[in-house]
Amino acid sequence: MKIFARCTLLSLLLFSVCSYAQDRNFVRIRPDESLDEIVQQAAHVVPSPRQWEWQKLEFIGFIHFGMNTFTGKEWGDGKTDPALFNPTALDARQWVRIAKMAGMKMLILTAKHHDGFCLWPSAYTSYSVKSSPWRHGKGDVVRELADACHEAGMKFGFYLSPWDRHEATYGDSPKYNEYFCSLLRELLTNYGEISEVWFDGANGEGPNGKKQVYDWQSYYRVIRELQPNAVIAIMGPDVRWVGTESGYGRETEWSVLPDEALNVDSIAAHSQQTALDAAFVPRNLMNVDLGSRDRLAHATALIWYPAETDVSIRPGWFYHPTDDSHVKTPAELADIYFSSVGRNSVLLLNVPPDTRGRIASPDSSALSGMRKILDRTFSRNLLSGAECTATTARPGHDVLSVLDNSPDTYWQAAQGEVSAELQFTLPKEHMVDVALLQEHIRTGQRIEHFRIDAWNGVEWRRCAMGTTVGYERLLRFAPVSAGKFRLVIEGSRGSPTLSRFGLFHNSLGSP
């Protein structure tokens, strides 16, 4: 789909040395700090308000639509006549209805892909919908989708490709950066609230045969100025790419990452509004291990940098009629949900409209089937009404908090305790094969490994085990019928927290 600067991480510009990370989404590590001290710092790194609001969305949608929809290509060359863009029945409200039905909380539109064709009537280029026959040159796809999202109570965001295979100034870095910022300003000022701005690292040649040097900081400044609550994703300081376009995240996914490439000499007064909005430097974010104790050991700084997992419902990212029979099944989509949202990530699922400008029936049917599977699975927490005990609890944060479905209440172990056992006695035996855990990440991500056991009347038998939890962890395991279960937190970075715990029956059957 896209060329990612697959190896990217932030080089942080911090205003001052902070000795403790309480309530901050970044912290600098002193050279003399021990590993234990670094781990304690990591335990107190938390999401920024914009990152927290984004994380709660859990499941969002990508809308790949543009000139490629009509050419059958995935990457256009910027030479296609705008006259080809002419959807016959575009209905952005239909996109939103289907997305809401599936459980998505935001839609992100490809406002400009690599071919440079703009889905809004930009004042800065003629290569846009205003030069097409659609709506007699008066149409605006961005407007129609933004309005439909806002009317329906959904969040709206856009993808703006830095690479532009049409724009003549691409490769003349100062001129193109000015052009790109002008496009950003149009999108950020004319379409209401923007919740996510999505950049990839695509950087091929332009029409003049040259490559562009992107001025990322100038892009960030425009976004922070005009839409300060929007997260900047992928090639940005708020949200990172999980490292694969399969829809499957890591079994161990830390949101707190080290930045081993921090240039201490660059830490100085900085004019940007947000200290994390700094230059990218080459780094590999596709490793299996990003945030373990081993990775923290040599950190010069720690940042809260959560993962977004993108995947398309079809083999390609744009609609192709030959793919109608290859749409992912409801079971495949549900499996992806468990392996992305259920692995401390936000799922970004692409659903591309067809040449009519509508979501095709195979896609909507698959999404409906997925939703039914998830609704059946999570309709009832089988721990509801259970008697709960914990071996340790901080005053005001008792174990009952994990069953009240409130993100604001949470159980926490007593100060200094890094392990704990939570027991749940059900009113009667139930068959269970799915577990849901959520940490209170506004306190930090701390749990390193845990297990779930069932009482068989004689002894405890392990049902499942896991490593990180983060915002949400979903586990599937062989079905077990029992009336008593326990969650054993075996290791944690500081006193662990839990905002929610649930046991369910998987409507897909055993894994």
Report the CATH number that the domain containing residue 473 is assigned in CATH: 2.60.120.260
Question: 174 and 156 in one domain?
Answer: yes
The predicted-structure confidence for 298-348, as pLDDT tens digits, reads as follows 889 999 999 999 999 999 999 999 999 999 999 999 999 999 999 999 999
User: Exposure pattern of 317-341 as b/e (b: 16+ CB <10 Å)?
Assistant: bbbbeebeeebbebeebbbbbbbbb
Residue 165 lies in a domain: yes
The predicted-structure confidence for 458-483, as pLDDT tens digits, reads as follows 999 999 999 999 999 999 999 999 99
**For residue 393, is pLDDT > 60?**
yes
Residue 442 lies in a domain: yes
Residue 261 lies in a domain: no
Residue 65 lies in a domain: yes
Q: Choose the weakest-confidence range: 95-99, 160-164, 184-188, 244-248.
A: 244-248
Question: 432 and 347 in one domain?
Answer: no
The number of folded domains in the chain is 2
Question: 396 and 366 in one domain?
Answer: no
**For residue 290, is pLDDT > 50?**
yes
What is the model's pTM? 0.92
Q: What's the mean per-residue pLDDT of the chain?
A: 89
**pLDDT-derived band of residue 23, with 50, 70 and 90 as boundaries?**
low
Decide: 119 and 141 in contact? Cβ < 8 Å: yes
**For residue 501, is pLDDT > 70?**
yes
**For residue 7, is pLDDT > 70?**
no
Give SS3 for 438.
Answer: strand
Last residue of a domain, one of 345, 377, 409: 377
Question: 367 and 450 in one domain?
Answer: no
Question: 356 and 335 in one domain?
Answer: yes
Residue 182's domain spans which residues? Answer: 48-256+305-377
Last residue of a domain, one of 314, 344, 377: 377
Question: 372 and 393 in one domain?
Answer: no
**For residue 414, is pLDDT > 80?**
yes
Question: 403 and 369 in one domain?
Answer: no
Give SS3 for 227.
Answer: coil
CA 259/CA 295 separation, integer angstroms: 9
Question: 414 and 368 in one domain?
Answer: no
CA 258/CA 468 separation, integer angstroms: 16
**pLDDT-derived band of residue 244, with 50, 70 and 90 as boundaries?**
confident
Model pLDDT, residue 211: 87
Model pLDDT, residue 19: 36
Decide: 422 and 481 in contact? Cβ < 8 Å: no
Segment 12-25 shows an average pLDDT of 45
Last residue of a domain, one of 377, 398, 420: 377
The predicted-structure confidence for 420-440, as pLDDT tens digits, reads as follows 999 999 999 999 999 999 999
Segment 132-161 shows an average pLDDT of 98
Using only the alpha carbons of the chain, give its radius of gyration. 24
Residue 37 lies in a domain: no
**For residue 489, is pLDDT > 70?**
yes
